[in-house]
Amino acid sequence: MERLCSSPLHENISTALDKHLESIHVVQARRKDEIVNASSRQRHGPPRCQDERVVLALAVALRALCLATRKVRTMLWSAFQMTLPK
């Protein structure tokens, strides 16, 4: 989009994209923790408190990803509107 408008876009756009990517990495890590915890629970029996913390951490990460996705969609829409010919 920067090439289309022949000028750099606002720095908030790249910041929003970076936060979105970071949120994706956090969700992936929390999901991996959940899978590891579920596989170890099958072998050793059910420690419920630890399992609930892992699921809660995944839920918090998903909420952050949802918010970051909304922000990045808005930023990309704004950037697109700036690149349209007048």
The answer to the question of residue 54 being in a domain is yes
- Answer whether residue 46 shows pLDDT above 60: no
d(CA 17, CA 21): 6
The answer to the question of residue 68 being in a domain is yes
Chain mean position to CA 58: 11
Q: What amino acid occupies position 73?
A: R
Query: What tens digit of pLDDT does each residue of 24-38 get?
Result: 999 999 999 988 887
Question: pLDDT band at 41, cuts 50/70/90?
Answer: low
Range of the domain at 28: 11-79
Query: What tens digit of pLDDT does each residue of 52-65 get?
Result: 888 899 999 999 99
Tally the domains of the chain. Answer: 1
The answer to the question of residue 21 being in a domain is yes
Give helix then strand counts, H and E, for the chain.
3, 0
